[in-house]
A = this chain, B = another copy of it.
Amino acid sequence: MPGFSARPPAIASLLVDDAVVGVTRWDFEPGAATGHHTHGLRYVVVPMTDCSFLIEGPDGESRAFSRAGEVYRREAGVSHNVVNGGEQPMSFIEIEYK
């Protein structure tokens, strides 16, 4: 379709998967996206680079910026598409608690 441009997928690499946690590294080229998903587990995010987040959620778009190492935690139930809204590659590591 002329003018149509789907977002490329972010690359997910499973680092740890045991009885306690699942740890996934996410690497995004500019414009890349995780795809829409709902978190079934609570999680911690460790930005490995500065991250310019474009978040597509149920209530629309929002933007957030986290510097490398600015860790945050979220409860289960978050539903969103996470996009690299910046001009540089970005990466974070997500630790889900089972």
Contact = CB atoms under 8 A, between A and B. Distances in A.
Given A23-B44, A48-B48, A71 B93 contact: yes
Interface stretch (A1-9, A14-22, A57-65): A14-22
A80 interface: no
A36 interface: no
B16 A72 contact: yes
A73 interface: yes
* Copy count, this protein chain: 2
Given A18-B73, A71-B23, A73-B18, A46 B93 contact: yes
A97 interface: yes
A95 B95 CA distance: 9
